[in-house]
């Protein structure tokens, strides 16, 4: 069975409540979880403060502010840094403010240790107020806590559906490649890489089926992190450093701007010279999982809802400008 077929099968299992795991996969998964538990002992308990990036960004820029929300786990929180300006939400919101030339209001709801099942309560909070776009980053804790992949992507799909039904644009940063996490030792590091990429592909399919956009975080912890672990990984060798979180925000920003309709005219159509174009959803999801920053957009070929949930998407490799240094969030809207 091809990788694309496996990803589609897993996504279909989520839709129908199936388990989506073969016996062989379950054995591999169990071994991976055992290694993850050992890795946690090497990483140690969470002792760092957690900073809330919620607030207003872009002081002095015109308004009304763009309303954005961030959901997910410790990667979205920015766990491990010493200043609020170093969390990904601050980098991301500052980038949106600069490139949109608008004030931005960020509401940040991620929780350290969150799994996909925790998104429901986070979505509840997002829906309490107007929101233009929400970014979801989740997945690694589902892997390390032995959550069945079909259940994981089902929770994600439900969250995307609720947000889209409320008129909120949604960007899902799919599960990053866990194969570069130093505390996970070979050969199980290779297993972690395979499993996280498979989950990322299934996440993309489910999110696209519900009308969201996705962007791959697949190798955000990849070659650059392997080459410069001291610079891009934090002290626990598991969470990114401030420089790593800045790179994380760089990947999310272009797709966020696209979701807000704030891309340049020459970015509206896929560019063949960058390898962009229309793809079958499952094949595109597998391709995206292997390449950081690959964006997948739902494609409506006929104007019908059924087509939106169909088999075709636009695959893009948008330019990723470096986001500015992050602002300190203001607790109140200031003109």
DSSP 71-136: EESHHHHTTT-SSGGGSHHHHHHHHHHHHHTS-EEEEE---TT--GGGHHHHHHHHTTS--SEEEE
Average pLDDT over residues 80-94: 91
pLDDT tens for 257-280 read 999 999 877 777 888 888 899 998
Query: Residue 101 corresponds to which tokens in the numbers above?
Result: 């030339």
Dist. CA 283–CA 273, nearest whole Å: 19
Cβ–Cβ < 8 Å for 72, 126: no
pLDDT tens for 8-66 read 655 554 444 444 444 445 555 555 556 555 555 554 455 567 899 999 999 999 889 99
Cβ–Cβ < 8 Å for 80, 239: yes
pLDDT at 136 over 60: yes
CA separation, residue 39 to residues 34, 178, 263 (Å): 9, 12, 41
**Using the 8-state DSSP alphabet, how is residue 216 labeled?**
E
**Mean pLDDT for the chain?**
79
Kind and range of the H or E element at 68?
strand 66-72
Query: Residue 10 corresponds to which tokens in the numbers above?
Result: 């897993």
Identify the bridge partners of residue 187 per DSSP, sorted by sequence position. none
Residue 264 or 127, more confident: 127
**Angle in degrees, CA 48, 53, 55, rounded to 5:** 150
Query: 151: Cβ–Cβ under 8 A, 6 or more apart, which residues?
Result: 14, 116, 117
pLDDT at 202 over 80: yes
**Using the 8-state DSSP alphabet, how is residue 48 labeled?**
S
pLDDT at 73 over 80: yes
Per-residue confidence band for 230, with pLDDT thresholds at 50, 70 and 90: very low
Query: Residue 175 corresponds to which tokens in the numbers above?
Result: 């599960």
Annotated catalytic sites, by residue? 74, 236, 239
Residue with tokens 């912890």: 221
Query: Residue 52 corresponds to which tokens in the numbers above?
Result: 């809330």
By mean pLDDT, which of 35-39, 115-119, 245-249 is the weakest?
Answer: 35-39
Decide: helix, strand or coil at residue 65: coil
User: What ranges make up the beta strands (E) of 208-303?
Assistant: 213-216, 277-280, 295-298
pLDDT at 6 over 70: no
- Omega within 30 of 0 (cis) for the link into 187: yes
Decide: helix, strand or coil at residue 59: coil
In this prediction, residue 5 carries a pLDDT of 60
pLDDT tens for 145-162 read 778 888 999 999 999 999
**CB-based burial label for 136 (10 Å; 0-12, 13-18, 19+):** buried
């Amino acid at each position: 069975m091809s990788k694309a077929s496996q990803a589609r099968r897993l996504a279909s299992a989520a839709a129908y409540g199936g388990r989506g795991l073969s016996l062989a996969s379950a054995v591999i998964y169990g071994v991976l979880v055992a290694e993850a538990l050992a890795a946690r002992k090497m990483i140690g308990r969470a002792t760092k403060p957690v900073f809330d990036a919620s607030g207003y960004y872009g002081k002095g820029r015109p308004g009304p502010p763009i309303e954005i929300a961030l959901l997910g786990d410790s990667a979205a929180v920015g766990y491990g840094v010493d200043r609020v300006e170093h969390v990904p939400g601050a980098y991301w919101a500052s980038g949106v403010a600069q490139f949109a030339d608008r004030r931005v209001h960020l509401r940040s709801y991620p929780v350290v240790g969150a799994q996909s099942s925790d998104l429901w309560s986070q979505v509840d909070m997002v829906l309490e107020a107007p929101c233009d776009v929400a970014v979801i980053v989740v997945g690694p804790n589902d892997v390390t806590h032995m959550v069945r992949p079909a259940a994981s992507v089902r929770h994600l799909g439900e969250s995307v559906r609720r947000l889209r039904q409320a008129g909120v644009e949604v960007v899902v940063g799919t599960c990053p490649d866990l194969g570069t996490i130093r505390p996970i030792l070979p050969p199980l590091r290779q297993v972690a890489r395979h499993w996280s990429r498979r989950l990322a592909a299934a996440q993309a399919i489910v999110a696209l089926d519900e009308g969201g956009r996705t962007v791959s975080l697949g190798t955000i912890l990849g070659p650059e992190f392997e080459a410069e672990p001291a610079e891009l990984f934090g002290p626990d060798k598991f969470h990114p450093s401030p420089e790593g979180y800045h790179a994380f925000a760089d990947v999310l920003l272009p797709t966020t701007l696209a979701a807000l309709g704030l891309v340049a005219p020459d970015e509206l159509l896929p560019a063949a010279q960058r390898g962009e174009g229309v793809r079958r959803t499952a094949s595109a999801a597998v391709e995206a999982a292997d390449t950081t920053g690959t964006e997948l957009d739902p494609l409506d070929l006929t104007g019908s809802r059924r087509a939106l949930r169909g088999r075709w998407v636009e695959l893009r490799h948008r330019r990723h400008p470096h986001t500015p240094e992050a602002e300190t969030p203001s607790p109140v809207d200031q003109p």
